[in-house]
Chains A and B, each alone.
Chain A
Amino acid sequence: MTSPTATHFAPRPGLGRTWERGALWLFRVATYFIVLCGAFVFGQIFWRGAPTVFTAHAPFVNVAFFTEAPESLHVFAYQGEKMELGDRAFNAFKAAHADAGAIKDDSYVYSAGGIFPCIVGTMLLVAGSMGIALFLGVSSAIYLNEYARDSAFVRFIRLAILNLAGVPSIVFGLFGFGMFVIFFGWNVSLLAGWFTLAFMVLPVVITASEESLKAVPKGFREGSLALGATKWQTIRKNVLPYALPGILTSSILGIARVAGETAPIMFTAAYVVRDKLPWEGLEKWTDFFFQGVMALPYHIYVVSSKIPQNEYTARVQYGTAFVFLLIVALIASTSIVLRSRLRNRYKW
Chain B
Amino acid sequence: MASTRIPPSPETQADATPAATSAGFLANKARFRFFGLTLDGCIKAFFGGNAVVAVLVLTLITIFLFKEGGGFFAQNRANLQIYRQAGLEYVDFIRAQTTGHTALTHELSDLRLRQFHRLTEAGKSLAEANAALAGFDEFANQFGDAIIPLRGLLSDLTETATALKSKFATTENLKIARQQLLAAGKTAEADKIVISEVNFDAELKPLLGTLPAYQAASAETAAKITAALTVKPALPTPELQARLEQFKMLAAAYVADFPAVEKNLRAWDYRQPVPFFRSITSFIFGRDWIAQSSWQEWYGILPLFVGSLMVSFVALLFAVPLGIGAAIYINQLASPAEQRIVKPCIEFISAIPSVVLGFFGVIFLGENLRLLSQQSWLAWVPGFPFSERLNILTAGCLLALIAVPTIFTLAEDSLNNVPRAFKEASFALGASRLQTIIKVIVPASLSGIISAVLLGLGRVIGETMVVLLCAGNRIAIPDFTAGLAVITQPVHTMTGLIAQEMGEVPVGSIGRHALFMIGLVLFFLSLLINWLAQKIVRRYRIAID
Contacts and interface: CB of A to CB of B under 8 A. Distances in A.
B106 interface: no
Contacts of B531: 163
A86 to B, nearest CB: 22
B523 A167 contact: yes
Interface in B73-87: none
B522 interface: yes
A58 B61 CA distance: 52
B507 interface: yes
B276 interface: no
B50 A143 contact: yes
Interface string A5-29: 0000001000011011001101110
A142 B53 CA distance: 13
Given A31-B329, A34-B349, A166 B53 contact: no
- Give the interface residue-count category, chain A: 35 or more
A183 B67 CA distance: 10
Contacts of A136: 50, 53
Contact of A261 (B321, B334, B347, B353): B353
A168 B325 contact: no
Interface stretch (A71-79, A198-206, A282-290): A198-206
Contacts of B204: none
A202 B54 CA distance: 8
Contacts of B333: 24, 27-28
B527 A163 contact: yes
A139 B54 contact: no
Interface stretch (A94-102, A103-111, A215-223, A301-309): A301-309
Interface stretch (B149-157, B187-195, B289-297, B497-505): B497-505
A11 B430 CA distance: 11
Nearest to A146: B47
Nearest to B515: A174
B408 interface: yes
B213 interface: no
**Majority SS of interface residues in chain A?**
helix
Interface string A107-127: 000000000000000000000
A139 B507 CA distance: 37
B46 interface: yes
Interface string B39-82: 11001101110111111011011001101100000000000000
B47 A34 contact: no
Given A261-B353, A262-B355, A168 B507 contact: no
Contact of B43 (A174, A183, A232, A333): A232
Most buried by A among B65, B360, B401, B433: B360
Interface string B523-541: 1001101110010000000
A22 to B, nearest CB: 9
Nearest to B521: A171
A183 B64 contact: yes
Given A33-B322, A37-B401, A260-B351, A202 B57 contact: yes
B527 A178 contact: no
A203 B408 CA distance: 20
Interface in A165-187: 165-175, 177-179, 182-183
A324 B359 CA distance: 12
Given A34-B322, A168-B526, A336-B344, A262 B64 contact: no
Most buried by A among B345, B465, B515, B531: B465
A27 B523 CA distance: 35
Contact of A178 (B52, B67, B355): B67
Interface stretch (B169-177, B217-225, B454-462): B454-462
A297 B353 contact: yes
Contacts of B65: 171, 174-175, 178
A35 B342 contact: yes
B357 interface: yes
A168 B354 CA distance: 13
A261 B356 CA distance: 10
B528 to A, nearest CB: 10
Nearest to A266: B499
A35 B58 contact: no
A157 B55 contact: yes
B316 interface: no
26 contacts: A17-B432, A20-B432, A26-B325, A27-B333, A28-B329, A31-B325, A31-B326, A38-B349, A38-B352, A140-B47, A146-B47, A147-B44, A160-B54, A161-B54, A167-B58, A170-B519, A179-B64, A230-B39, A231-B44, A261-B353, A262-B464, A267-B502, A304-B359, A321-B360, A329-B351, A333-B351
Given A28-B333, A328-B352, 14 more contacts: A17-B432, A30-B326, A135-B50, A143-B51, A167-B462, A168-B462, A171-B61, A171-B523, A173-B499, A202-B57, A263-B495, A301-B465, A304-B355, A321-B360
Interface of A: 11, 16-17, 19-20, 23-24, 26-28, 30-35, 37-39, 41-42, 44-45, 135-136, 139-140, 142-144, 146-148, 156-157, 160-175, 177-179, 182-183, 199, 202-203, 206, 230-232, 256, 259-263, 266-267, 297-298, 300-301, 304-305, 309, 314, 317-318, 321, 324-325, 328-329, 331-333, 336
6 closest A-B pairs (Cβ-Cβ)?
A168-B462, A260-B353, A30-B325, A332-B351, A143-B47, A139-B50
